[in-house]
A and B are shown apart, each in its own frame.
Chain A
Amino acid sequence: MYVYDEHDRQMAAERVAQFRDQTERALAGELAEDEFLPLRLQNGLYVQRLAPMLRICVPYGMMRSDQLRRLARITRDYDKGYAHFTTRQNVQLNWPALEDVPDILAELAEVEMHANQTSGNCIRNTTTDQFSGVQSDEIADPRPYCEIIRQWSTFHPEFAFLPRKFKVAVNASEHTDRAAIQVHDIGLQMVRNEAGELGFRVHVGGGLGRTPMVGPVIREFLPEMDLLTYLEAVLRVYNRYGRRDNKFKARIKILVKALTPEGFAEKVEAEWQHIKDSPTRLTPEAVQRIQAYFTEPDYANLDNATDLLASQRFEHREFDQWLTHNVDTHKKPGYAIVSLTMKKTGTPPGDVSDKQLEQIAELADEFSFGEIRVTHQQNVVLADVRQDRLLELWQAITPMGFGTANLNTLTDVICCPGGDYCALANAKSIPVAEAIQRQFDDLDYLYDLGNIDLNISGCMNACGHHHVGNIGVLGVDKKGQEFYQISLGGSSHHDASIGKILGPSFARDEMPQVISKIIDVYVDKRTEEETFLDTYRRVGIDPFKERVYA
């Protein structure tokens, strides 16, 4: 994992001092509210329904155990003793006091953390696949490139006041996309060209929110060393020509659509010709220097523990289920990737207490070289667990509430904080998630249904990624009443698509029944090997409509 050097440390400290000064000037009335707004947003601070909310950056989802412990302490000292894992691999605090935020940022900086650019109209945290570096089918480890992008985008002087927020995601797996890159402003798919050289296929203009779109490819192959100059060209074209007259039309996707992907690509290409050989062009030494932080941990030389696991599976049926659903194949023999689910029914998806943060830190130290990854599905990954210790780990996490064996099933809901916390929300989202989790509490039935992405957002801003849920739920406000609109057929993976709206919305208490009817249609219509999405794509939306609105 990346470790700060004296330059990073210095800039982190200077940033805290700057925000302290800005906060003092704001509290003294020297900065008007609208003038302080982008400054605090670029330090992660929202003013929310109940209190300020602080969004802390977890670069591409990676955290060390000492950082988790510091977060736990901060939630105790400055908040109500819990935190929330977000859908962009970050962490949020829901109740900090405005005047404490500079102190919180100072405490974070001590453990090489920050809240830079986690909000505001700037380049946000770059996200990636939570299985980076430990899966066998990746082109290369994407994390060094995420770190290179992090450094380039941090306090970039030209791009601090973009028309709107800007999100970059990188994916390196050939067969899966856990980073949802096609619904980002820039999605980078790592590829090799015919000569075997490393590079990126560049998608631009994907996104959710009010006008959901799958990002078109504007360049099939961008050589590795050209990464930053090309990003700079894309950002410059966007900064100059993106719409600023209407907030709802200000994302880069609107510009790409207006110019057409080809027209946009031409503009970027023309800009890039001027700067592609500038000093911003990466060097092999610079890339290698960052790669050196992401080398393999000190793995033991092991064989796969196939026989041991088989007998343990036989003895413990629930362990067997957990192993099947929450544990993935590791590139190293004898190791496994474990997903800790933060989706225990009755707990808001992604919420963790200070104690749980410390428990996760301990698990990381004990089982996974002291590191964890946060996923955009709001779970936590221990990426390097020895197979012969999986049973021990499972026994440890079950009482902690992290062992619910529902990864990627219907009840592994992606859910924004919604109207319970968020000032932007039109409706609550957490109670809907919980009602659906209660309706589908039979694990065997869930397994029979297979992988289904159920994504819930409390408003158009789509933090719960509802457009790309196989089943998406959007909270809407109708004359002061909370209603929920359903869409079907979305996907955030390689076959990315935006869901189609089913029809008129429903009251909250109808939701579990409605979801049941949708699932019933799938069960009736599916062929043996079809997932929910496959069936939907084959039969279309009409059978679902007929059943739900019958």
Chain B
Amino acid sequence: MPNVISQDGSIREDNWVVVPRPAEGESLDIPADQPALIPADLWLAGYEHFTGRQDIGVWFDSHDEPEILEGHVNELPVIAVNFPKFSDGRGYSIGRLLRERFGYVNELRAIGDVLLDQLQFMKRCGFDAYVLRADKDITKAQKCLNFFSQGYQAATDTDVPLFRRRAS
């Protein structure tokens, strides 16, 4: 069961399972007794079957287009974004688009190669749950989420950039 870090740095356990994309010709292997995150396009393909279920969420890979879920995002209890390598920054754009453009309000979870020093960026881009890579020291997450007390830009966490705060 993964430990999940919240935006405030607190740690909780949960049992969401990430279901990998099935090989060509195979079907999704969704566990019967656990909530599951499935590839977003497959959720859409099985829309009639999946929509409204509180135990089914989706995940995007970093090269996926979140646009495919426009208009449906809030039907999902959890959306996860995979960072295949911590240095792959596409997930930050996906996070902001889901939140700021498509108005997603439920849990946005970072999965994959999630390290301590990237948490601050994920937080600002709308992620509110982080599954840290297992070998990293989860007790340092809170500190790493809070090195900065403010930022220059508007992002998901604030729509008031510093130049507007200075003016007021």
Chain A interface (Cβ within 8 Å of chain B)? 5, 7, 10-11, 14-15, 17-18, 21-22, 30-31, 35, 38-39, 121, 148, 151-152, 154-162, 236, 239-240, 244, 274, 278-280, 282-283, 285-286, 289
**Which residues of B lie under 8 Å from residue A236 when comparing CB positions?**
93
Chain B interface (Cβ within 8 Å of chain A)? 86-90, 92-93, 96, 101, 115, 117-118, 120-121, 123-125, 137, 143, 147-155, 159-167
**Which residues of B lie under 8 Å from residue A244 when comparing CB positions?**
88, 90
**Which residues of B lie under 8 Å from residue A35 when comparing CB positions?**
86, 115, 117
Question: For the complex, what is the distance from the CA of A14 to the CA of B153, rounded to whole Å?
Answer: 16
**Which residues of B lie under 8 Å from residue A7 when comparing CB positions?**
150, 162, 165-166
Question: For the complex, what is the distance from the CA of A158 to the CA of B101, rounded to whole Å?
Answer: 15
Docked-complex contact A158 and B155, CB < 8 angstroms: yes
Select the residue from B87, B89, B148, B154 with max chain A CB neighbours within 10 A: B89
**Which residues of A lie under 8 Å from residue B90 when comparing CB positions?**
239-240, 244
**Which residues of B lie under 8 Å from residue A154 when comparing CB positions?**
152
Question: For the complex, what is the distance from the CA of A339 to the CA of B165, rounded to whole Å?
Answer: 39
Residue of B nearest to A120 (CB): B87
Docked-complex contact A155 and B115, CB < 8 angstroms: no
Docked-complex contact A121 and B152, CB < 8 angstroms: no
- The 8 Å CB contact of B125, one of A157, A240, A285, is A157
Question: For the complex, what is the distance from the CA of A14 to the CA of B149, rounded to whole Å?
Answer: 8
**Which residues of A lie under 8 Å from residue B161 when comparing CB positions?**
152, 279-280
Docked-complex contact B147 and A17, CB < 8 angstroms: yes
Docked-complex contact A18 and B152, CB < 8 angstroms: no
Q: List 6 additional A-B contacts (Cβ < 8 Å) besides A14-B148, A152-B161.
A: A239-B89, A239-B93, A244-B88, A283-B163, A286-B164, A289-B166
Docked-complex contact B152 and A283, CB < 8 angstroms: no
Give 10 nearest A-B pairs by CB, closest first. A161-B89, A157-B124, A286-B163, A18-B147, A157-B121, A158-B92, A151-B152, A279-B159, A279-B154, A285-B167
Docked-complex contact B167 and A152, CB < 8 angstroms: no
Residue of A nearest to B155 (CB): A157
Docked-complex contact B167 and A158, CB < 8 angstroms: no
Docked-complex contact A157 and B92, CB < 8 angstroms: yes
Select the residue from B93, B125, B163, B164 with max chain A CB neighbours within 10 A: B163
Residue of B nearest to A155 (CB): B151
Docked-complex contact A279 and B160, CB < 8 angstroms: yes
Residue of A nearest to B136 (CB): A30
Docked-complex contact B154 and A283, CB < 8 angstroms: no
Select the residue from A10, A155, A158 with max chain B CB neighbours within 10 A: A158
- The 8 Å CB contact of B121, one of A10, A18, A31, A160, is A160
Residue of B nearest to A244 (CB): B88
Question: For the complex, what is the distance from the CA of A403 to the CA of B130, rounded to whole Å?
Answer: 58
A-B contacts, 15 listed (Cβ < 8 Å): A7-B165, A11-B152, A14-B147, A157-B121, A157-B124, A157-B155, A158-B92, A158-B124, A158-B155, A239-B90, A278-B159, A279-B159, A285-B167, A286-B167, A289-B167
Q: Kindly provide the distance from the CB of A306 to the nearest chain B CB, expressed in whole angstroms.
A: 44
Select the residue from A121, A152, A240 with max chain B CB neighbours within 10 A: A240
**Which residues of B lie under 8 Å from residue A283 when comparing CB positions?**
163-164, 167
Q: Given the interface contacts A161-B92, A239-B93, does A156 sit within 8 Å of B153 by beta carbon?
A: yes
Question: For the complex, what is the distance from the CA of A22 to the CA of B151, rounded to whole Å?
Answer: 19
Q: Kindly provide the distance from the CB of A159 to the nearest chain B CB, expressed in whole angstroms.
A: 7
Q: Given the interface contacts A283-B164, A289-B163, does A158 sit within 8 Å of B96 by beta carbon?
A: yes
**Which residues of A lie under 8 Å from residue B151 when comparing CB positions?**
11, 155, 157
Question: For the complex, what is the distance from the CA of A428 to the CA of B6, rounded to whole Å?
Answer: 51
Residue of B nearest to A17 (CB): B147
Docked-complex contact A155 and B93, CB < 8 angstroms: no
